[in-house]
Amino acid sequence: MLGITKLLCGSENFGDSRRYTHGAKDEKYGVSRGKGPVVVWNCTNTCNLSCKHCYADSKHCQFEEELDTKAAKALIDDLASFKVPVLLISGGEPLLRKDLFKLLKYTRENNIRSTVSTNGTLIDKEVAKDLKQNGVSYVGISLDGIGIRNDAFRGVHGSFDKAATGIRNCLDIGQKVGLRFTINRNNYDQLEDVFYFIKEERIPRVCF
């Protein structure tokens, strides 16, 4: 990940200490001495949207060959033994896993910092509270445009409004949250509107 803010401003930002530790570039796999790498786990292929750019072939159905709770906890045990500092849980839509909060709690108990990458449409006030209470350090919510442009890309009408509400619900309780925006030829003309949205909603972090 390239931190443009750090490059342009020379400032210290959230997560920099894990990405830019002195000497990490000289270590095998580019991680800090004595620590494993940051791990991304696509914990499910089930999803409630149908995005044009989906790399996971996700669908709104249950998949049989996914790790159950016991196997998922065993995976987290392994990550802890490898001294993995951060587990980024993605999908599909991770909030569709019925045991997600159990796994987030277990991740915290193993001293691994968890982050969640989600489409944000399922984050009501209670879900936002559950994410914070289970130690999630950051929630990244993906959008691909504003309003109907996002909905057309995501394949479900109303998904923009639900994701925007998810962002607000996180902000309201102090859950760290940010926007993820994949720039492509279908939406690059929306960048100005996206920046306006970020400013109006006071979203503190965005990844392009």
One DSSP character per residue, 148-199 reads HHHHHHHTSTTHHHHHHHHHHHHHHTT--EEEEE---TTTGGGHHHHHHHHH
**Does residue 123 register a pLDDT over 80?**
yes
**Does residue 167 register a pLDDT over 80?**
yes
Confidence of residue 90 (pLDDT cuts 50, 70, 90): very high
Confidence of residue 66 (pLDDT cuts 50, 70, 90): confident
**Does residue 29 register a pLDDT over 70?**
no
**Does residue 187 register a pLDDT over 80?**
yes
Confidence of residue 172 (pLDDT cuts 50, 70, 90): very high
Arithmetic mean of pLDDT, 97-114: 97
Which of the residue ranges 9-18, 25-34, 57-66, 182-191 would you say has the lowest mean pLDDT? 25-34
pLDDT number for residue 17: 61
pLDDT number for residue 91: 87
pLDDT number for residue 4: 60
Q: Beta-carbon neighbour count of residue 17 at 10 Å? A: 11
118 strand-pairing partners? 141
pLDDT number for residue 53: 79
Confidence of residue 180 (pLDDT cuts 50, 70, 90): very high
Query: Domain locations in the chain?
Result: 1-35, 39-207
Q: Measure the CA–CA gap between 137 and 175, rounded to whole angstroms.
A: 8
Q: Which two tokens stand for residue 115?
A: 């982050």
Q: Measure the CA–CA gap between 72 and 122, rounded to whole angstroms.
A: 22
Q: Tokens 């249950």 belong to which residue?
A: 62
Residue 67 is given by DSSP the state -
- The three-class DSSP label of residue 41 is strand
CA 131 to chain centre: 12
- The three-class DSSP label of residue 40 is strand
Q: Measure the CA–CA gap between 53 and 154, rounded to whole angstroms.
A: 9
Q: Which two tokens stand for residue 187?
A: 């939406």
Name the CATH architecture for the domain at 39-207: Alpha-Beta Barrel (3.20)
Which of the residue ranges 30-39, 118-127, 168-177 would you say has the lowest mean pLDDT? 30-39
**Does residue 193 register a pLDDT over 90?**
yes
Q: Measure the CA–CA gap between 157 and 38, rounded to whole angstroms.
A: 34
